């Protein structure tokens, strides 16, 4: 989250400098270096290791062989919470076909995160907390909700699908 905030500050500073002719950008890594590492369709998904609701580390690599939707969200995100009923329907429909969600929360309030999981009935076992936003930065997430579909081989198969589009894509992917 820090890197995302810094990127926004740098962008604003650059915009101001174009009007004033002065630049006071901090001496940090350039956005092009961050953006160059964002996973693309067909590439291996970077491994994720995050604490779950009990504080135990869960890893994306442990799910190889399954189709996984990485779902970046937060309890305070209205659009994310509105998307959750669709995600529950998809999980219920496909969980026995080698599919799961790996939810990645950007919450800083652990209790709000845990309550949202229960309230929204997110019954899949993979819920990771990315309170500092490091995983979101690694995946180039700039807004939530954000999704990445990872195929059985651990490669990114789709990015940004939600609702009916995600459902249609999963139906095709799970048939092959």
pLDDT tens series, the chain, 176 aa: 444 443 444 433 333 333 334 333 333 333 434 444 789 999 999 999 999 999 999 999 999 999 999 999 999 999 999 999 999 999 999 999 999 999 999 999 999 999 999 999 999 999 999 999 999 999 999 999 999 999 999 999 999 999 999 999 999 999 86
**What's the rounded Cα separation, in Å, for the pair 98 and 150?**
12
Q: Sketch out the chain's domains with CATH numbers.
A: 1-36 (no CATH), 38-175 (3.40.30.10)
Specify the pTM: 0.78
Name, in order, each residue with C-beta under 8 angstroms of 69's C-beta and a sequence gap of 6 or more.
Answer: 87, 90, 99, 100, 101, 102, 147, 148, 149, 150, 166, 170
19 CB-near residues (< 8 Å, 6+ apart)? none
């Amino acid at each position: 989250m820090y890197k995302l905030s810094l990127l926004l500050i740098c962008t604003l500073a650059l915009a101001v400098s174009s009007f004033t002719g002065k630049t006071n950008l901090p001496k940090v890594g350039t956005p092009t270096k961050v953006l160059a590492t964002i996973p693309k369709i067909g590439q291996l998904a970077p491994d994720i290791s995050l604490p779950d609701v009990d504080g135990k580390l869960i890893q994306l690599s442990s799910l190889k062989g399954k189709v996984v939707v990485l779902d970046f969200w937060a309890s305070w995100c209205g659009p994310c919470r509105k998307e959750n009923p669709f995600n529950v329907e998809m999980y219920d429909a496909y969980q026995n076909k080698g599919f799961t969600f790996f939810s990645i929360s950007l919450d800083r309030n652990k209790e709000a995160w845990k309550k949202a999981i229960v309230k929204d009935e997110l019954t899949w076992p993979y819920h990771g907390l990315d309170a500092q936003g490091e995983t979101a930065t690694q995946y180039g997430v700039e807004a939530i909700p954000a999704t990445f579909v990872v195929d059985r081989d651990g490669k990114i198969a789709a990015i940004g699908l939600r609702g009916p589009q995600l459902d249609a894509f999963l139906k095709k992917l799970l048939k092959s």
